[in-house]
Amino acid sequence: MIVLGIETSCDETAAAVVRDGRETLSSIILSQVELHRPYGGVVPEIASRQHSEMLPGVIDRAMHDAGVGWAQIDAVAATYGPGLASSLMVGLSTAKGLAMRLEKPLIAINHLQAHIYSPFMSPEAPTPAVVGPFVALVISGGHTCLVQCAALGEYRLLGETIDDAAGEAFDKGANLLGLGYPGGPLMDKIGRTGNPKAIMFPRGRVRSPRDVGAGLQPELCFSYSGVKTALLYYLRDNPLAAGDPRLPDVVASYQEAIVDTVIDRCERAMETMSTLCVGGGVSLNSRLRLKLQDLAHRRGLRLLLAKPVFCADNAAMIAGLAGMGGGLTGQHAFGTDVVPALPVCANWV
């Protein structure tokens, strides 16, 4: 089954062609980061206008690079949530139009479930069926959550952030430090040369069941507003000059506080599970990858990290999950509107 996937939930315009859920024939990702950089964040109006302008060309390139004709496409898939409403609309309505024109099925995909699936996109990774039940960590600019998966398609949210996502904590920290946007990759690079133990920033914890959604365990939830405030006060009391040699230590210590909380929550979530899958833009972070590998080694876990090309937003994971039978199909797909606040799953409590 060959699926054309479309992803426009935030500021990447992406299209990909994937065979049988795992073989990526092409994957085109057009980043809009330069357009949003002057504003220090994604501007929804700019994002949707850019998606409208660029998506047809991105789809053409994906088709061309895959070397397949329209007649060989078996289904068209697109993200229907969560994300920016006006951005999602461009991808979903384009997919609906294409599916109707080609007289092929439409598959509407949950972006977070696609991140969960992304570690399985590597040809060398085992299939979900071989892996069996697993825990997924989705860690990105918009989301940070732990999901228990009995199998692909059977999800249960275990914990999530109660304030900022981990990527947001990186980006806001970088902003306070006067670094560029998006801050995550810069923090990763600068932090590599610093001492992560130089400053003890707080490891945010969620203690009360009242602070989390129904059925969630506070000890599996995340909170990043405290570490950001701690950095703000640290910089007020210890201002850094331009080119200050202390910068790498501050960055490494701040990064360590974020990474440590992730490792702690993963360790707790893995008490009775043996496979941990990790996807989302922040899973590109080298310190996080190292400490996840250390955790897996220490606890004898199987760790499936998404390949770097499938970590940040991409359409291959959309086409991939669609090819594995995930998402809304038939009239459910054609009938759905975009759902900007779509949860990762409907939890049974």
Q: Which residues bind Zn ion (CB under 5 A)?
A: 140, 313
CB neighbours (10 Å) of residue 273? 15
From 21, 128, 142, 196, residue interacting with ligand KG4 (rule: CB under 6 A): 142
The residue count for binding ligand KG4 (CB under 6 A) is 20
Query: How far is it between the farthest Cα atoms of the chain?
Result: 64
CB of 334 to ligand KG4, least distance (A): 25
Kindly identify the residues of this chain, within the stretch 4-23, that bind ligand KG4 according to CB under 6 A. 10
Q: Nearer Cβ to ligand KG4, position 98 or 157?
A: 157
Phi and psi at 150, nearest 5°, equal -70, -35
Site string for ligand KG4, 230-269 (x = CB under 6 A): ----------------------------------------
Figure out which of the listed residues 190, 284, 301, 304 binds ligand KG4, where binding follows CB under 6 A: 284
Cβ(181)–Cβ(40) below 8 Å = yes
Is 126 one of the binding residues for ligand KG4 (CB under 6 A)? no
> How far is Cα 7 from Cα 313, in angstroms, rounded to an integer?
8
Q: Which three-class secondary structure state does DSSP give residue 161? A: strand
The binder of 126, among Zn ion, ligand KG4, none, by C-beta within 5 to 8 A per type, is none
**Which listed option, Zn ion, ligand KG4, none, makes contact with residue 62 (CB within 5 to 8 Å by class)?**
none
Question: Residue 284 touches which of ligand KG4, Zn ion, none (CB < 5 to 8 A by kind)?
Answer: ligand KG4
Among 285, 291, 317, 333, binds ligand KG4 (CB under 6 A): 285
Rank residues 41 and 218 by Cβ distance to ligand KG4 and give the closer one: 41
Q: Which does 11 bind (CB under 5 to 8 A by kind): Zn ion, ligand KG4, none?
A: none
Copy the structure tokens of residue 194: 């610093």
Among the listed residues 280, 320, 323, 327, the single contact to ligand KG4 using CB under 6 A: 280
Q: 163 to 222, contacts with ligand KG4 by CB under 6 A?
A: 167, 170-171, 182-185, 187-188
Task: Give the residue among 252, 248, 250, 249 at the shortest CA–CA distance from 288.
Answer: 252
Chain length of the chain: 349
Measured at CB, which residue is nearest to ligand KG4? Answer: 281
Q: How far apart are CA 275 and CA 277, in angstroms?
A: 7
Nearer to Zn ion by Cβ, of 172 and 248: the residue is: 172
> Would you count residue 140 as binding ligand KG4 (CB under 6 A)?
yes
Q: Which among Zn ion, ligand KG4, none contacts residue 170 (Cβ within 5 to 8 A by kind)? A: ligand KG4
Residue with tokens 């190292």: 290
Spatial separation of the C-alpha atoms in residues 103 and 304, rounded to whole Å? 36
Residue 141 binds which of ligand KG4, Zn ion, none (CB < 5-8 A, kind-dependent) = ligand KG4
Q: Sign of torsion, CA 79 75 114 67? A: negative
- Pull the structure tokens for residue 309: 């090309």
**Which is closer to ligand KG4, CB of 84 or CB of 149?**
84
Minimum Å gap between C-beta 103 and ligand KG4 is 32
- Give the H/E segment covering residue 135: strand 134-139
CB of 138 to ligand KG4, least distance (A): 8
**CA-to-CA distance for 220 and 159, rounded, in angstroms?**
5
Picking from 51, 57, 120, the residue whose alpha carbon sits closest to that of residue 321 is: 120
Distance CA 267, CA 135 (A): 11
The Cα-based distances of 346 to 79, 155, 212, 215, 328 in angstroms read 17, 8, 15, 11, 14
Residues that bind ligand KG4 (CB under 6 A): 10, 140-142, 167, 170-171, 182-185, 187-188, 280-282, 284-285, 312-313
